[in-house]
């Protein structure tokens, strides 16, 4: 490795700066701007951080909520990342998650009267993935065969998902005799066991929280995505297409096929949010249960640099922000939970859109230090 | 029969009102994208503009200062978009998404900190807002059959900003197709290298286009907050920025077709509001969600190439790197 470090051209930096220093610097800048906003509205940023951390990690109950939020973000973060690797920007995670929840809910509503849980739950998980995948598959087909831009079509499909769900919940699936738009509650065979129940089986006591088995499924998905993207032939084709569509085409990779597969997988992952929300927590179909998780996935993927490990870390941060933010809003009423939305936007700005802003001066600083250390004007070994 | 006529009149009047922010944002997107910069952030800039206008109107009482504030804030966000996507060559879609989310969060955070009403701003008096204007003779002509009500309620009776939006469409057409600046702006979206070779700054042209787009979004936001409504409410743009984006694509990145797409989408919105809960005899309730989803469905069908071909500017989304 160090043999290469000495041969870096002026534009290149050692991997630990590109993967370690720059991303942390970008997130730090986003958090500093957030701190300035908090100070501007007359609150103490340090006190805010204290309540945020306290709210997110201060008790078993807090941990449960933090991890429950993180679960959804792992799914949507992976969804954005898989599409990114193919050079596609899937903005439609929100809609795919919504429709994924519908898939899980329909399976649960259809089968909870006669199927036992060990059969029903895997079917419902599959339903979420399939419905999410198909909602992403249509824009993928339009991109692959008709040349319509995936960013625009996935945005449109978010709104279409929302309209479809309003129609289904208000006019079709609504619980008879009820005014509010939600379905009947599923029978308990369709409830995904909570972590508290599962850990209770092996004698570990845990505070009650919405955290459920979906977290395990999310972590398994991380592993599967890693194997698929970096160890499987199809994953190689996806990455090759993302890096250089023309080179991939020349190598005999069919771009249309890559678009379809990457988007279907992306949609299936986003759809799995429905497992966490519908099977894990709500136990019925309802409106707006995705609550922005699809958009958080964009921030998570950018921050985690599209790698499952980074995505788990970023999801944990956002889970902590969501849960801690609720506590923070309670302790310091001038800071509402919308501050978390702002931080999310700032992280997308600094880690995504302005990702290259800091690179030139960090590169100059590195060159300067390296040159001084070697003392001869030749870039030093890293 | 008479009822139907007046329903038609009121629907047309509502169409113009609902289309106003769409027209302004679609023209904004058009300017930016014809110069080669993707603008997903219309929604966020409009929202921030609406917030700035409502706050300024509440504090100073002047709708004109409010307009100035709306324009300034939206243009500032545009500048940020330019910085990210033109200067630092970041991903233009990501930058737009960031602006939308920041605007969504920050307007409520600031609104709640300053006014403590869950993110809404105080209600405004008529003199703090842009109120509907009565065109000369509107009251006298009302009694004339057919033309009278049309003139009095559809042509007359809108706020200054609606008339401004209608006036801006031919102006932007003229700017794009009949001026040197417009020619260069269109060229920079198709072949920036050629423009650069001619000795014209690609950066300056793109920045001008992006900032003009911001000003138009600010106008749209001001209209929403202090003309159509009497206060800022959280997330009050409610996806209009994306409908405008759809209208711009539906109009194939050209001013007049985009304008008519905005009118169509505004009309669909007006009809959907009127048909809420209505029942067609023998068929059942009107599927209002379907009507509301029509703009998106139509845009997807258009993008799929089934209603002519929508060709984006060639250099759209590509940062310009000067050769050295």
> Six-digit token pair at A350?
């600094």
CA A363, CA B232: separation in Å to the nearest integer? 45
Distance from CA of A84 to the nearest CA of B (A): 12
Residues from chain A that touch B244, judged by Cβ atoms under 8 A, are none
* Chain A residues closer than 8 Å to B312 by CB: 149
Of A42, A353, A356, the CB nearest to B113: A42
What is the pTM (predicted TM-score) of this model? 0.90
Does residue B307 surpass a pLDDT of 70?
no
Q: Is the pLDDT of residue B296 over 70?
A: yes
Picking from B105, B245, B289, the nearest residue to A167 by CB comes out as B289
- Cβ contacts of residue B21 below 8 Å, gap of 6+? B46, B220, B221, B223, B224, B228, B237, B240, B244
First to last CA, chain B: 71
- In B, minimum Cα distance to A302 occurs at B94
What are the backbone dihedrals phi and psi of residue B279, each rounded to the nearest 5 degrees, phi first? Answer: -125, 130
CATH of the domain at B153: 1.10.3470
Q: pLDDT value at position B324?
A: 57
Contacts of A354 in chain B (CB under 8 A): 83-84, 88, 90, 95
Read off the pLDDT of residues A214-252 as tens digits, 9 standing for 90 and up. Answer: 999 999 999 999 999 999 999 999 999 999 988 999 999
Segment B199-227 mean pLDDT: 96
CB contact under 8 A, B293 and A148: no
Give the three-class secondary structure for A177: coil
The predicted pLDDT at position A5 comes to: 40
A contact residues 23-82, partner B, Cβ 8 Å cutoff = 37, 41-42
Domain with B217 in it? 2-303
- What lies within 8 Å, CB to CB, of A262 at 6+ separation is A82, A83, A85, A86, A88, A140, A238
The class of domain A50-333 in CATH terms is mainly alpha
Best residue of A345, A357, A358 to probe chain B, by most B CBs closer than 10 Å: A345
Question: What's B88's DSSP letter?
Answer: S
Provide the number of structural domains found in chain B: 1
* Spatial contact of B44 and B99, defined as CB atoms under 8 Å apart: yes
A128 Cα to chain B: minimum distance (Å): 23
Helix, strand, or coil (residue A194)? strand
Q: Cα–Cα distances in Å, from A311 out to A80, A112, A296, B294?
A: 10, 34, 11, 36
Taking a contact as any Cβ pair under 8 Å apart, which residues of chain A between 206 and 265 contact chain B? none
Distance, CA of A240 to CA of B144 (rounded, Å): 70
Residue A164 confidence (pLDDT): 94
Confidence of residue A1 (pLDDT cuts 50, 70, 90): very low
| B119 in contact with chain A, both atoms CB, cutoff 8 A | yes
Residues of B in Cβ contact (< 8 Å) with A144? none
Which distant-in-sequence residues (6+ apart) come within 8 Å of A175 by Cβ?
A182, A183, A184, A284
Question: Cβ contacts (< 8 Å) between A166 and chain B: which residues?
Answer: 289
Q: Span B135-159, mean pLDDT?
A: 81
Q: How wide is the angle at C-alpha A11 spanned by C-alphas A9 and A12, nearest 5°?
A: 70
For the stretch A322-375, pLDDT in tens is 999 989 989 998 888 899 999 999 999 999 889 888 888 888 888 888 888 876
From A296-310, A319-333, B198-212, B290-304, the region with the lowest mean pLDDT: B290-304
Percent of chain A residues past pLDDT 90, beyond the cut: 68
- When pLDDT is averaged across residues A300-314 and rounded to a whole number, the result is 94
Distance CA B322, CA B314 (A): 17
Taking CA–CA distances from A146, the nearest residue in chain B reads B304
Q: Is the pLDDT of residue B35 over 60?
A: yes
Q: In angstroms, rounded to a whole number, what is the distance separating the alpha carbons of residues B300 and A10?
A: 45
Taking the Cβ of residue B178 and every Cβ of chain A, the question of whether any pair is shorter than 8 Å is answered with: no
* pLDDT confidence tier of residue A3, bands split at 50, 70 and 90: very low
Q: Least CB-CB distance to A353: which of B91, B234, B296?
A: B91
Q: Which pair of structure tokens corresponds to residue B135?
A: 């065109």
Handedness of CA B233, B239, B245, B247 (dihedral sign): negative
- The rounded percent of chain B whose pLDDT value lies above 90 is 64
Q: Return d(Cα B76, Cα B70) in angstroms, integer.
A: 10
CA distance B2 to chain A (A): 33
Q: Give me the DSSP letters along B242-295.
A: HHHHHHHHHTTT-HHHHHHHHHHHHHHHHHHHHHTT-EETTTEE--HHHHHHHH
B36 inside domain? yes
Residue-level pLDDT at B133: 86
Give domain status of residue B315, yes or no.
no
Segments making up each domain of chain A, as ranges: 50-333
Let me know: does A73 contact A300? Beta carbons within 8 Å.
yes
The DSSP bridge partners found for residue B285 are B279
Alpha-carbon distance of A22 to A355, in angstroms, equals 8
* Alpha-carbon torsion angle B49, B55, B58, B62, nearest 10: -40
Distance from CA of A166 to the nearest CA of B (A): 7
- At A156 the pLDDT is 92
CB B222 within 8 A of CB B49: yes
What chain B residue is nearest to A329 in terms of C-alpha separation? B109
Instruction: Report the chain A residue with the minimal C-alpha distance to residue B92.
Output: A353
Residues 114-143 of A with CB under 8 A from B: 142
pLDDT surpasses 50 at B312 = yes
Question: Mapped to the 3 state alphabet, what secondary structure does A11-22 carry?
Answer: CCCCHHHHHHHH
Q: Which residues contact A187 (CB under 8 A, 6 or more apart)?
A: A112, A113
Contact (Cβ atoms closer than 8 angstroms) between residue A280 and residue A39: no
User: From A145, which residue of chain B is nearest by alpha-carbon distance?
Assistant: B304
What pLDDT shows up at residue B310? 66
How far is A110 from A132, CA to CA, in rounded Å? 18
Confidence of residue B1 (pLDDT cuts 50, 70, 90): low
- Report yes or no: B297 at the A interface, CB cutoff 8 Å: yes
Q: Tell whether ipTM is more than 0.90.
A: yes
Question: By the CB < 8 Å criterion, does B287 face chain A?
Answer: yes
**Residue among A152, A352, A355 minimizing CB distance to B303:** A152
Convert the pLDDT of each residue in A114-130 to its tens digit: 999 999 999 999 999 99
Tell me the CB-side half-sphere exposure of residue A273, using CA atoms within 13 A.
Answer: 34
Q: What is the pLDDT of residues A117-175, one digit of tens each?
A: 999 999 999 999 999 999 999 999 999 988 888 888 999 999 999 999 999 998 888 88
* Whole-number Å distance between alpha carbons of B318 and B320: 6
Residues 246-275 of B with CB under 8 A from A: 246, 249
Q: For residue A146, what pLDDT is reported?
A: 85
Q: Which of A146-155, A290-299, B133-142, B183-192 has the lowest mean pLDDT?
A: B133-142
């Amino acid at each position: 490795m160090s043999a290469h470090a000495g041969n870096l051209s002026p534009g290149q930096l050692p991997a630990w700066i590109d993967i370690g220093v720059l991303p942390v610097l970008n997130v730090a800048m986003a958090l500093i701007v957030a701190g300035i906003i908090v100070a501007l509205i007359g609150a103490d940023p340090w006190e805010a951080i204290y309540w945020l951390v306290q709210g997110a990690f201060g008790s078993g109950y807090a941990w449960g909520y933090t991890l429950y939020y993180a679960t959804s973000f792992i799914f949507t973060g992976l969804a954005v990342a898989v599409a990114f690797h193919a050079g596609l920007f899937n903005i439609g995670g929100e809609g795919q998650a919504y429709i994924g929840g519908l898939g899980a809910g329909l399976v649960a509503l259809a089968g909870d009267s006669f199927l036992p849980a060990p059969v029903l739950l895997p079917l419902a998980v599959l339903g979420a993935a399939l419905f999410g995948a198909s909602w992403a598959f249509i824009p993928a087909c339009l991109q692959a065969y008709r040349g319509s831009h995936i960013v625009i079509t996935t945005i449109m499909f978010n709104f279409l998902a929302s309209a479809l769900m309003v129609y289904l919940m208000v006019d079709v699936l609504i619980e008879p005799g009820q005014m509010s738009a939600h379905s009947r509650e599923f029978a308990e065979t369709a409830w995904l066991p909570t972590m508290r129940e599962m850990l209770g089986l092996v004698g570990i006591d845990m505070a009650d929280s919405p955290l459920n088995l979906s977290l395990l499924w999310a972590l398994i998905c991380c592993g599967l995505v890693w194997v698929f993207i970096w160890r499987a032939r199809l994953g190689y084709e996806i990455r090759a297409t993302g890096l250089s569509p023309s080179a991939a085409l020349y190598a005999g990779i069919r771009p249309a096929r890559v678009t379809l597969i990457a988007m279907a997988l992306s949609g299936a992952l986003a759809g799995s949010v429905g497992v966490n929300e519908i099977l894990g927590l709500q136990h019925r179909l309802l409106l707006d249960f995705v609550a922005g998780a699809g958009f958080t996935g964009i921030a998570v993927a950018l921050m985690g640099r599209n790698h499952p490990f980074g995505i788990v870390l970023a999801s944990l941060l956002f889970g902590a922000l969501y849960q801690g933010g609720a506590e923070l809003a309670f302790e310091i009423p001038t800071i509402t939970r919308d501050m978390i939305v702002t931080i999310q936007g700032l992280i997308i700005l600094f880690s995504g859109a302005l990702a290259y802003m800091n690179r030139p001066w960090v590169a100059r600083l590195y060159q300067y230090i390296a040159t001084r250390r070697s003392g001869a004007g030749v870039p030093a070994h890293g | 029969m008479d009822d139907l006529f007046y329903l038609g009149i009121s629907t047309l009047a509502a169409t113009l009102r609902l289309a106003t922010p769409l027209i302004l944002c679609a023209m904004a997107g058009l300017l930016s994208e014809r110069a080669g910069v993707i603008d997903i952030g219309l929604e966020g800039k409009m929202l921030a503009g609406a917030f700035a206008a409502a706050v300024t109107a509440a504090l100073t009482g002047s709708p004109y200062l409010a307009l100035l504030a709306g324009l300034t804030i939206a243009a500032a966000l545009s500048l940020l978009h330019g910085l990210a996507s033109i200067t630092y060559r970041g991903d233009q879609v990501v930058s737009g998404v960031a602006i939308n989310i920041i605007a969504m969060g920050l307007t409520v955070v600031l609104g709640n900190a300053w006014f403590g009403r869950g993110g809404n701003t105080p209600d405004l008096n008529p003199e703090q807002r842009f109120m509907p204007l009565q065109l000369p003779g509107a009251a006298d002509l009302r009694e004339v059959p057919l033309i009278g009500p049309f003139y009095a309620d559809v042509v007359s009776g809108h706020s200054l900003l609606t008339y401004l939006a209608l006036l801006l469409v031919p102006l932007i057409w003229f700017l794009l197709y009949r001026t040197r600046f417009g020619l260069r702006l269109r060229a920079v979206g198709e072949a920036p290298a050629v423009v650069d070779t001619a000795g014209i700054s690609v950066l300056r042209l793109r920045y001008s286009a992006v900032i003009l787009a911001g000003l138009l979004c600010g106008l749209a936001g001001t209209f929403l907050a202090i003309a159509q409504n009497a206060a800022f409410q959280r997330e009050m743009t409610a996806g209009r920025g994306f409908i405008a984006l759809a209208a711009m694509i539906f109009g194939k990145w050209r001013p007049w077709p985009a304008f008519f797409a905005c009118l169509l989408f505004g009309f669909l919105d007006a009809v959907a509001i009127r048909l809420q809960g209505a029942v067609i005899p023998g068929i059942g309730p009107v599927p209002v969600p379907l009507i509301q989803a029509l703009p998106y469905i139509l845009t997807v069908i258009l993008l799929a190439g089934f209603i002519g071909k929508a060709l984006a500017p060639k250099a759209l989304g590509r940062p310009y790197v000067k050769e050295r």
